[in-house]
Structure 1
């Protein structure tokens, strides 16, 4: 039974990744950034005396800013881990050897993706002790923390799938990395621009007001930053529902959209991996 789920590519990539000094130096850098931020926040809040008040409202503010910072770091690191999954094998001229093994295209693509996601999950878990500081001062519920980490997981898998897809259909790692970062800019920046644009049309009472209000909800529902803000502050989700007239929670649409992105990107990667061969396995 377990042999069905055994993926040699995943096991090999996982061993190579966790034996690399680069991986642990990256993890150390990631935790160092979080520690510096938290220490600086605490010092500023207590006015560098260590005797100032730290209210639940301040704790919530630290949680919100820490969540945004961690999401930015994850989005910055993910393409570097996934955009070279297949293209690096092609550049090292080892892809043809990999394709002649008994591993199917699905096993190769999924194994490459899961090894990268596993390292990113390790980074998120390693940051949990730092997150736990907010529970010392109150202002944050455990359900918020759980929802934030589930949001991280879905987003990381989606961005990772995009990186693996571009790594498969392009020949150079740098091109795949640029394309993946471009996708992140679209999902995080361009959708935010369209959100504010359609919101402005809606408030101006344009003739396309009904369509604009729906598009306002649509652009917000696929933007990672917008969903993160609604998870941190549910009042923002209520304000968006009142503005757009759509009662469906943003996280449901976000989950559907990103699951679709994951399935689409992995399907393309699997199909294109052996595009030049006579038969796909």
Structure 2
């Protein structure tokens, strides 16, 4: 049982990544930049009264939390492809993939180990920024549930984009091409879905087509930026409902779509890893 649950690929990749000083230097600079931004924002937004006392109102605290959230979202969207798109293709380019496939590890263990080790660094960056997020609670306007929901959906998005990156890394022989395909998918899930949601919503309002309204709601619901807006301001979901005429929670569609995306991407990667081998692993 212990042999089945263990994943040597994951342990090796995690040790190699987190023993490198570059990983922690990157986290240091990231947290340093966020700290400078937070303290600079608080200094600018602090209002002083006649007695010399300063305070920050809840509206300004909410603005700070919103900006930090979108910074974290940009981090997830733009760094994850670079961490995962070379997971398998780099092994192929170094001519070490054949050696890896001759081990007793199953295809799922190899793919899951590569995936989890690639996104572990990004998850560490998200978790390490929690103390900076906690400064917002000093001024009010934000509930702990909002923060927990943000972290959950950030992790879901990270795993989804990471799964797509590992899938392309398995299907495509060159790391550069796999990275381009992964970044293209990320742009499709953000910019393209945003355009399609606005376009189909406009068409549905002109033609009163129910099918177009459903598609407009779907394209908007799988957009990470729309999801973040719906979690930050629940009233924004009413704006989408007024545009499409469909009152269905954005977070449910987002959760189902990205869960299916993870399953399909991992399944394709596992099934194609040993495509030229006779073994059933």
Q: How many residues align?
A: 279
Q: Distance in 2 between matches of 1:250 and 1:179?
A: 27
- How do 1:59-98 and structure 2 match up within 5 A? 59-98=61-100
Q: Distance in 1 between matches of 2:240 and 2:208?
A: 20
Q: Structure 1 residues 241, 277: closer, same or farther in 2, change over 3 A? A: same
Considering only aligned residues, what root-mean-square deviation do their CA atoms show, in Å?
A: 1.8
Q: Which runs of 5+ in 2 are unaligned?
A: none
- How do 1:1-281 and structure 2 match up within 5 A? 1-46=1-46, 52-203=54-205, 205-208=206-209, 210-281=210-281
Q: Structure 1 residues 51, 195: closer, same or farther in 2, change over 3 A? A: farther
Instruction: Tell me the alpha carbon deviations over residues 184-213 of structure 1, each in whole angstroms, 9 at most, x when there is no partner.
Output: 10001000011111222233x3152x2222
Runs of 4+ in 1 over 4 A off after TM superposition: 47-52
Secondary structure of 2:235's aligned partner: helix
Q: Distance in 1 between matches of 2:178 and 2:110?
A: 18
Contact 1:271/1:280 (8 A) holds in 2: no
Secondary structure of 1:132's aligned partner: helix
Out of 93-102 and 45-54, give the one that drifted further: 45-54
> How does the TM-score come out when normalised to structure 1?
0.94
Contact 1:45/1:52 (8 A) holds in 2: no
Contact 2:76/2:157 (8 A) holds in 1: no
Contact 1:30/1:73 (8 A) holds in 2: no
> How does the TM-score come out when normalised to structure 2?
0.94
Q: Distance in 1 between matches of 2:20 and 2:84?
A: 16
Secondary structure of 2:207's aligned partner: coil
Q: Distance in 1 between matches of 2:276 and 2:124?
A: 36
